[in-house]
Amino acid sequence: MISRVNLTGATAATIRAAVHETPDIEACGMLFGLSASGVLHVNSASRAKNIAARPWNRFEIAPEHLFDAQRRHRAGPPWLVGIWHSHPNGDPTPSRYDAARITDRNWLWLIATRTAIAAWVPDGEGFRPVPLAILL
């Protein structure tokens, strides 16, 4: 069970850059890292093409990107540990749509806005927040 998340500064910068470059659509990608004693250390994030029909409030990662992330996982470490996406509306809280899209209950979800990054893990029918530290 994930009790805390450490995000490298470079990983946070990758996510923030994607959010700022696509402010009107949900940016998205995969997360890679290592876990030890309940602490998830996320040391990289990929950037994927959002192929959702309504990308301003939905995200769908392009299949070729998912396949590439799975290949990286098999070659790991680091391992595929989660997913990230942005919310252009400025709210870093998971939506009902996000909850309906949970495919791996062990994955971390990061939701980014122009001003924040929040960490969430699937819990019951939705998500629970997890403390997040961005390391320099």
- Identify the CATH number of the domain in which residue 95 sits: 3.40.140.10
Query: Tell me, what's the pLDDT at 1?
Result: 82
Tens of pLDDT, residue by residue over 3-41, are: 999 999 999 999 999 999 999 999 999 999 999 999 999
* Half-sphere CA count of 105, side-chain side, radius 13 A: 5
Q: pLDDT: is 126 or 113 the higher one?
A: 113
User: Which of 61-69's residues contact partners 24+ apart within 8 Å by CB, and which partners?
Assistant: 61/28, 61/29, 61/30, 65/29, 65/30, 66/30, 69/30, 69/32
Cα–chain center distance at 60: 12
Residue 103: pLDDT over 90: no
- The residue type at 72: R
Query: Tell me, what's the pLDDT at 124?
Result: 85
Bridge partners (DSSP) of residue 34 are 41
Domain total in the chain = 1
Tens of pLDDT, residue by residue over 52-93, are: 999 999 999 999 999 999 999 999 899 999 999 999 999 999
Structural domain of 60: 4-135
Query: Tell me, what's the pLDDT at 136?
Result: 83
pTM for the model: 0.94
Tens of pLDDT, residue by residue over 50-62, are: 999 999 999 999 9
Q: Which of 133, 104, 107, 103 is nearest to 120 (CA)?
A: 107
